[in-house]
Chain A
Amino acid sequence: MLGYEAVILLLAIAGTIAVVFVGLSRFLGPRNLNEEKTTPYECGVPPSGTARERFPVRYYIVAMLFIIFDIEVVFLYPWARLFRELGMVGFVEMILFMLVLLVGLVYAWRKGALEWE
């Protein structure tokens, strides 16, 4: 246990505070529900219909494209951090990496993956 006392103490205090504060407002606070308060929050727009609808498959294509380029950025950060140390080799390799992804993007674009209609 040596060295973990502080962590455990912190967990205990944090847990106590959370339980006490939520519990207090549960028992002491006034509760008057109306329609506006119980409807789910949708960015300020009035909600329409049920959430369990069929999504157009394009959502997934866009989501997949997003993830690919998201990951590209994840790879770019450490490369940018070590740009000088990696030198020309690192530069050429990263350009090749981005070119490969670019081919993928152009392919998806030309095949109409980005068309919404």
Chain B
Amino acid sequence: MIPDSIAEISASQVPGDLMAILPFLVAVAGGLVVIIVDLLMRPKASRQALGILSLLFLVLMILACLVDVGKPPEMAFSDLVVADDFSRFLGVIFAVAAALSALTAIGRLPDEGAARGEFYALLLFATGGACLLAQATDLISMFIGLECLSIPAYILAASLRRDPRSAEAGFKYFILGAFATGFLVYGIALLYGAAGSTQLKEIARLCATQPWTGNLMLIVGALLVLVGLLFKIAAVPFHMWAPDVYQGSPTPATAFFATAVKAAAFAALLRVLFMALPDMRTGTAGYEDAGWAGLLTVIAILTMSVANLIALVQNDVKRLLAYSSIAHAGYLIIGLLCNQEGAAAILFYLAAYTFMTVGAFALVAYFEHKSGGTSMTEYVGLGRRHPVAAVALCILLFSLAGIPPTAGFFSKFYLFRAAVNEGFIVLTVVAVLNSVVSAYYYLRVTVAMYMEDETQEKKPAVKASFAIALAVGICVLFVLLMGVHPTPYLDAARSSVLSLF
């Protein structure tokens, strides 16, 4: 029999609970409003207005995150979620990534025959799921957030209904994503079995009170949860799906996958590793490498090296950017090993990475529309035909390669500095060598745009879409701003990670 007090407690807590997940609620309400407005519109009418409507909700979501910045962490829904600066910082990243993807979609999708209302509604639902994932302090709410993010993402991948590659992307993403979710759920079940609770802090308490090395259920559970999350960030050896999915999906959706989905999975990784499993970082004396630190070192090196080497031989710019995003996940994993400073570097990196990657994909979408393909040969001579867009792509690619004075330079700098301070010298050397390698393929695109001779006839220049121009403009602006004056962003990242430790 349920006591009467439950009703009283829940009634008095509901407003506070709902305020704690306000960004999530704004995103989901936005998705529902987009669906309803879509029904009220004539079937043949342009759906660009829905894109603008979703932008409005994403701006509201950013405000909902920013308005509470600095407030102490606040638990809600019986400690299932927390509203802290960490989740607010990431909430802004998700909303910005979704807004820039929506802008790209407004400019791009009508040409692809995918200009339906669902695209924006699903984008908003996925953004809401990402927010919930970043707020989760319990494995169950984390799982709900991850599914709420992933399922709309699977549909977004397949949203070019007439394109077999898009269908393949959606199907592959769905099957492999469901498989990874299976790993995650098994892991959650085993962690629950070991700790008797799905609360992250209860699992941490178990690890702190008894040695974890003999607890097989705990170890296997933690490993399975890690596998599930590493799949979502596309770390090697769980990266196989990423190139096909990123290439086959409509480019605005790809931009969202490469940024918001990845950032959300990193948020979950940070929460799980630092809030639930801090004591499993290293093994017992004599076996220091046996913890997750040793495991992630290997995965970081593999992810960076494999992705960068395969990217060298790509002849399709969209696929090249897919491998680039895998490589960046490799750099980001280094941050997971470097405690507080590393976590701050990850947040800064994710913010910078969002702007450079969405900007690059927006330009891929723009050129794709102009010339009809994403192959490297289509980029030959773009420096002359579309001078402004080509310069913007150069800046974004330089930033991805980590060349100053761009955001990419400082994000790598902070990350590698944190790694050196923690004593990961070899790992840092590997990472620096990898970013040198990556410069080759980023610059290859630049070389194609400016230095190779045009063999095909000149295609007529068409007027740029205002929405894409706006998205690229915002991205370039922030990439330069964060590169010239990174301090405020780094300070925000630093104060945001305090609640994790």
Interface-side segment among B2-10, B256-264, B268-276: B2-10
A115: shortest Cβ distance to chain B, in Å?
13
71-117 of chain A: CB within 8 A of chain B = 82, 85-90, 100, 103-104, 106-107, 110-111
Nearest B residue to A87 by beta-carbon distance? B7
Q: A87-B11, A89-B14, A100-B32 are in contact. Are A106 and B6 (CB under 8 A)?
A: no
The answer to whether A86 and B10 touch across the interface, beta carbons within 8 angstroms, is yes
Q: Which interface class (under 10, 10 to 19, 20 to 34, 35 or more) fits B? A: 10 to 19
**Complex formed: what's the CA distance from A107 to B39 in Å?**
7
1-60 of chain B: CB within 8 A of chain A = 2, 4, 6-7, 10-11, 14, 32, 35-36, 38-39
Could you say which residues of chain A place their CB within 8 Å of the CB of B39? Answer: 106-107, 110-111
Could you say which residues of chain B place their CB within 8 Å of the CB of A86? Answer: 6-7, 10
Could you say which residues of chain B place their CB within 8 Å of the CB of A85? Answer: 2, 4, 6-7
Nearest B residue to A89 by beta-carbon distance? B11
B336: shortest Cβ distance to chain A, in Å?
36
Nearest A residue to B32 by beta-carbon distance? A103
Q: Which interface class (under 10, 10 to 19, 20 to 34, 35 or more) fits A? A: 10 to 19
**Complex formed: what's the CA distance from A111 to B39 in Å?**
8
A99: shortest Cβ distance to chain B, in Å?
9
Q: A82-B2, A85-B2, A85-B4 are in contact. Are A103 and B35 (CB under 8 A)?
A: yes
The answer to whether B11 and A88 touch across the interface, beta carbons within 8 angstroms, is yes
436-450 of chain B: CB within 8 A of chain A = none
Could you say which residues of chain A place their CB within 8 Å of the CB of B36? Answer: 103, 106-107
A89: shortest Cβ distance to chain B, in Å?
5
Nearest B residue to A106 by beta-carbon distance? B39
**Complex formed: what's the CA distance from A106 to B6 in Å?**
34
**Complex formed: what's the CA distance from A85 to B4 in Å?**
6
Instruction: Report which residue of A86, A90, A104, A107 has the largest number of chain B beta carbons within 10 angstroms of its beta carbon.
Output: A107
Nearest B residue to A109 by beta-carbon distance? B39
The answer to whether B2 and A107 touch across the interface, beta carbons within 8 angstroms, is no
Could you say which residues of chain A place their CB within 8 Å of the CB of B7? Answer: 85-87, 89-90
Could you say which residues of chain B place their CB within 8 Å of the CB of A88? Answer: 11
**Complex formed: what's the CA distance from A88 to B10 in Å?**
10
Could you say which residues of chain B place their CB within 8 Å of the CB of A100? Answer: 32
The answer to whether B11 and A107 touch across the interface, beta carbons within 8 angstroms, is no
**Complex formed: what's the CA distance from A69 to B477 in Å?**
47
Q: A88-B11, A89-B10, A89-B11 are in contact. Are A107 and B35 (CB under 8 A)?
A: yes
**Complex formed: what's the CA distance from A53 to B14 in Å?**
52
**Complex formed: what's the CA distance from A87 to B38 in Å?**
35
Could you say which residues of chain A place their CB within 8 Å of the CB of B32? Answer: 100, 103
Could you say which residues of chain B place their CB within 8 Å of the CB of A107? Answer: 35-36, 38-39
Could you say which residues of chain B place their CB within 8 Å of the CB of A103? Answer: 32, 35-36
**Complex formed: what's the CA distance from A87 to B9 in Å?**
11
Could you say which residues of chain A place their CB within 8 Å of the CB of B2? Answer: 82, 85
**Complex formed: what's the CA distance from A106 to B37 in Å?**
12
A104: shortest Cβ distance to chain B, in Å?
8
260-315 of chain B: CB within 8 A of chain A = none
**Complex formed: what's the CA distance from A113 to B186 in Å?**
35
Could you say which residues of chain A place their CB within 8 Å of the CB of B35? Answer: 103-104, 107
Interface pairs (29), CB distance under 8 Å: A82-B2, A85-B2, A85-B4, A85-B6, A85-B7, A86-B6, A86-B7, A86-B10, A87-B7, A88-B11, A89-B7, A89-B10, A89-B11, A89-B14, A90-B7, A90-B10, A100-B32, A103-B32, A103-B35, A103-B36, A104-B35, A106-B36, A106-B39, A107-B35, A107-B36, A107-B38, A107-B39, A110-B39, A111-B39
Q: With A85-B6, A107-B35 given, can you name 6 additional A-B contacts, CB distance below 8 Å?
A: A86-B7, A90-B7, A90-B10, A103-B36, A104-B35, A106-B39
| 6 nearest A-B pairs in the assembled complex, by CB-CB distance | A87-B7, A89-B11, A110-B39, A85-B2, A85-B7, A107-B35
Q: Which residues of B contact A (CB under 8 A)?
A: 2, 4, 6-7, 10-11, 14, 32, 35-36, 38-39
